[in-house]
Amino acid sequence: MQAQAFIRKWGPGGPAHDLNERADAQAHFIDLCRVLGVAEPADPEHYCFERGVTTTGSGAGRTDGFADVWLKGHFAWLSAPIHI
């Protein structure tokens, strides 16, 4: 996918612009991977969607939840701001 196609699809007025987070999170990330020319999540042990995580550092203490996208040893992409 080229950057301009990504913008047309996900930008204002595009067909995916008004989707909610649950409806479009994975498709948006996959399209972003394609624009950047990097691998898409495909390995539940190292790089995947909806990985269970435990977070610490918030006022609530430890909480369990899910990362929208997770790459072992590199990042956890979460919808809501939290402290890890």
Domain that holds residue 25: 3-36
Q: Does 64 reside within a domain? A: yes
Question: Which pLDDT tens digits describe the chain residue by residue (84 residues)?
Answer: 899 999 999 899 998 888 877 778 899 899 999 999 999 999 999 999 989 887 766 666 666 778 889 999 998 887 654 444
State the Cα–Cα distance between residues 31 and 47, nearest whole angstrom: 16
pTM greater than 0.85 (yes/no): no
Q: Does 22 reside within a domain? A: yes
24, burial (CB in 10 Å: exposed 0-12, middle 13-18, buried 19+): middle
Residues 30 and 51 in one domain: no
Q: How many structural domains comprise the chain?
A: 2
Residue 53, pLDDT score: 81
Q: Does 41 reside within a domain? A: no
In three-state secondary structure terms, 16 is coil
Q: Does 84 reside within a domain? A: no
Q: Does 83 reside within a domain? A: no
Residues 10 and 31 in one domain: yes
Q: Does 7 reside within a domain? A: yes
